[in-house]
Amino acid sequence: MKKLLDHIDFPSDLRQLNPEQLPELAKELRDFIINIVATKEGHLGASLGVIELTIALHYVFNTPNDLLIWDVGHQAYGHKILTGRKNKFHTNRQLGGISGFPKRSESVYDTFGVGHSSTSISAALGMAIASQLKGEDRYHIAVIGDASIASGMAFEGLNHAGVTDSNLLVILNDNAIGIDPSVGALKQYLTNVKKGKEKQDNIFEALNFDYSGPVDGHDFNTLISELERLKRIKGPKLLHVITTKGKGLKQAEEDQVKYHAPGKFDAKTGNIIPKTERNQPPKFQDVFGYTIVELAKMNSKIVGITPAMPTGSSLKYMMDVLPDRAFDVGIAEQHAVTLAAGMATQGLVPFCNIYSTFLQRAYDQVIHDVALQNLPVIFCLDRAGLVGEDGATHHGVFDLAYLRCVPNMIICAPRNEVELRNIMYTAQLGLNQPIAIRYPRGRGLMMDWKQPFANIEIGKGECLKTGSKVAVLSVGTIASTVSEAILEMHEIQDQIAHYDLRFIKPLDETLLHTIFKSFSSIITIEEGTVNGGFGSAILEFGALHHYRNAIRILGIPDQFIEHGTKSELSTYVRLDKEHIKSEIQLILKS
């Protein structure tokens, strides 16, 4: 027996159904997503929570003429399946497959590329104003979650939209959770609204939005009726929709944090399939999490800050043990950085833990509020380098370049877990200037990582292996790949020296003078952009001191890298072991 979903490839097919058929379609769409994500992995809970809303939006509005924007995009799997990508959905987040986030180049239905939060209202307003100027009659819908709408950029969009007469509909998808549970005063306000306990003017009406809701986001009759009504109302409108993240999968509803992106699980039972983790090194995020707790017990001035990623960053360990000194500030990277700066002015030692890709959102605060005032904020940049299946919006490959040009900033890329612990220890002893410590997603290589703390000399590199003809300079955890490559080059390995510079800023100039005078050929290797990063710093050093060595830079090329496994992407950008061996052989032959 054919299912309703079998007949639907595009929203135009969906609109041929009777409203009474939509609940069955919702069940089929949920099952479709569950069965594929169970084996292919991905963001599960958010998409399951908005199935009815997704169907209702494409049913009521004439997409793609009417423009629909999903904030962040974690919740867009149902949208993708209903807009021409059903037969390709099994390739989601895989190399050469469809993206895990809406992407303009992928479909006309993906009206705006997303991946970072709180952009939808501004983008939709921009489109609405453009439609007005061009005399076009269309609707513009921004779907944003309760965690994302608390971000400053969302308020900026709301503030502007409220003084326009643009045809904009903001749908607040309120499920009380982002990746971790939502936090802050706005969350409490929305909770009061849902409970009918308002004691003040409606905040959205105060911003000149026509507010309606809260409504049940899993009730088709209510959703469709309200969306049809709102189509007839001019100006900015906001519909408050209550949904349950993970709806339709019992375990995903009960453990919404774990089932945000659960990895592989049993599609029938919902149980997560445990990964083989016996005798494996910890994740770098956990090394950070355990270490900051150790340090904070030793140093009462230490505080921890994360913008909405307590689980992902493992700051949750400190929040559990020392809740008064660890802060989840919500999706507010700008605030997180300046909050840390304020704390630093009063003698506290703030560890500000932000994913590398998300620190981009607070670049001005890093420069103006921290570095310009030379405040000793300790930035711990998780997910630095290639992150894998989340793709171009999430790779942390720009931080070395965008931080290296900032005065007063120390930049360190520890090569292993022990070095990460030791630079964290060193930083909290009192550097009197800001430092950024970058480390990758995933597991390290060391079982005996929890060693006694040792001080690291700032700006000091290290020779990992001597050699006679070519010097390989690396920063960060890619040092282990370089070391493996050199070990496999049996006949010529005595010609290859390997140095871990550790610090991109300040550079170990004493060591570099020795290297430049000792080797005619140098290779730099980093999991950051070739333009402006570590390799560029080495080139600048050579030019400044009039060296004429042959220098080859290996790193992320000048392009946005798409999604795939970490291994696949490392091969693509020629940072895998085999390509490193090939580059060394080439330079030795030249």
Residues 383 and 559: their CA atoms lie apart, in Å, by 19
Among candidate residues 85, 187, 245, 502, the one labeled active-site is 245
Residue of 204, 301, 263 lying closest to 42 (CA atoms): 263
What are the Cα distances from residue 411, in Å, to 380, 405, 433? 10, 11, 11
How far apart, in whole angstroms, are the C-alpha atoms of residue 580 and residue 590? 16
CA distance 213 to 216: 9
**Least confident range of 258-262, 368-372, 552-556, 572-576:** 258-262
8-state DSSP, 282: P
Selected catalytic residue, list 30, 247, 361, 421: 361
> CA 130: distance to chain centroid?
30
> What three-state secondary structure class fits 112?
coil
The pLDDT assigned to 430 comes to 92
Is residue 525 within 8 A of residue 575, CB to CB? The reply is yes
For the ranges 100-114, 190-204, 425-439, the lowest mean pLDDT is seen at 190-204
CA pair distance 178, 258, nearest whole angstrom: 12
Q: Contact 99/106 with Cβ under 8 angstroms?
A: yes
Q: Has this prediction a pTM greater than 0.85?
A: yes
List of domains in the chain: 23-254 (3.40.50.970), 284-438 (3.40.50.970), 462-589 (3.40.50.920)
Name the packing angle between helices 577-589 and 479-487 (round to 10°): 60
Q: How confident is the model at residue 270 (pLDDT cuts 50, 70, 90)?
A: confident
pLDDT at residue 2 greater than cutoff 90: no
> Which tokens sit at 53?
């809303």
Give Cα 139 to chain centroid, integer Å: 30
Assess whether pLDDT exceeds 90 at residue 193.
no
pLDDT (average), residues 22-31: 94
What is the predicted pLDDT for the residue at 143?
97
DSSP-assigned letters across all residues of 346-415: TT-EEEEEEEHHHHGGGHHIIIIIIITTT---EEEEET-B--STTGGGT-B-SHHHHHHTSTT-EEE--S
Interval 549-562 mean pLDDT: 97
Write the Ramachandran bin of 115: left for phi over 0, alpha for psi from -120 to 50, otherwise beta: left
255 confidence band (pLDDT: 50, 70, 90)? confident
> Is 276 a residue whose pLDDT tops 80?
no
Annotated active-site residue 268? The verdict is: no
Q: Cα(332)–Cα(310) distance, rounded to whole angstroms?
A: 13
Per DSSP, helices labelled H in 212-256 are 220-231, 250-254
Return mean pLDDT, the chain.
94
If residue 40 lies in a helix (H) or strand (E), which one and from where to where?
helix 22-40
Q: What is the pLDDT of residues 340-385, one digit of tens each?
A: 999 999 999 999 999 999 999 999 999 999 999 999 999 999 999 9
For 162, phi then psi, to 5°, come to -65, -15
The confidence band for 15, taking pLDDT boundaries of 50, 70 and 90, is very high
- The span from the CA of 154 to the CA of 483, in Å, is 46
Sign of CA dihedral 116, 122, 128, 130: negative
**Which residue from 147, 170, 146 is spatially nearest to 227, judged by alpha carbons?**
170
245 a catalytic residue: yes
- Cα separation of 354 and 422, whole Å? 19
Candidate list 52, 226, 333, 389, residue with the active-site label: 333
**pLDDT tens-digit map of 159-186:** 999 999 999 999 999 988 777 777 888 8
Q: In this predicted structure, what is the pLDDT of residue 184?
A: 80
pLDDT at position 199 is 64
* Interval 399-406 mean pLDDT: 98
pLDDT of the residue at 197: 63
Strand 496-500 relative to strand 462-465: parallel, antiparallel, unpaired?
antiparallel
- Is residue 198 predicted with pLDDT exceeding 60? no
Residue 1 confidence (pLDDT) above 80: no
Band of pLDDT at residue 200, cut at 50, 70 and 90: low
